[in-house]
Amino acid sequence: MTIRDSSREYADIINLPHPESKKHKRMSMRDRAAQFSPFAALTGHDAAIKETARLTDDFTDLDESMKRNLDEKLVLILEKLNEKPIVTITYFLKDLRKAGGSYEASEGWIKKVDFYDRLIVMGDQTRIMLDSIVDIESDLFRKY
């Protein structure tokens, strides 16, 4: 069967107008195209791959001299706490989704040091665990 033969088969309907529904309005071209657009068969798969690829750091334990140095800095800050010296605290923040975490820095004044819960509360309400601190910097240390 050739193209010419097949067109003869439909000669009686080929020039008829396209039927229009009286109940439903015609679908827009955009909505029609959306019917054929690709879909995500594996919902959340891309997010899972990105999460796996996201890198985290490991916490490096401080040696005794570094711990002693941090203790001395903290004692000096506690002596001047009412003066609200500006400090920059570098600390390790554990990742909530996977092993490891990241090193963060918080700058500001220390509102409170809670030795019972072992944390520092900064003026902006940032809470830093004492055991996660790796460094403290301040102009206060340069004076002495």
Residues of the domain holding 17: 3-53
Q: How many domains does the chain have?
A: 2
Residue 58 lies in a domain: no
Are 121 and 90 in a shared domain? yes
Q: Is this prediction's pTM over 0.85?
A: no
CA distance 104 to 126: 11
CA distance 39 to 78: 59
Are 49 and 102 in a shared domain? no
Are 32 and 71 in a shared domain? no
Long-range pairs for 31-40: beta carbons < 8 A, 24 or more residues apart: none
Are 49 and 101 in a shared domain? no
CA distance 30 to 126: 49
**pLDDT per residue over 20-59, tens digit each?**
888 888 888 888 888 877 766 777 777 788 877 777 788 8
**pLDDT per residue over 23-32, tens digit each?**
888 888 888 8
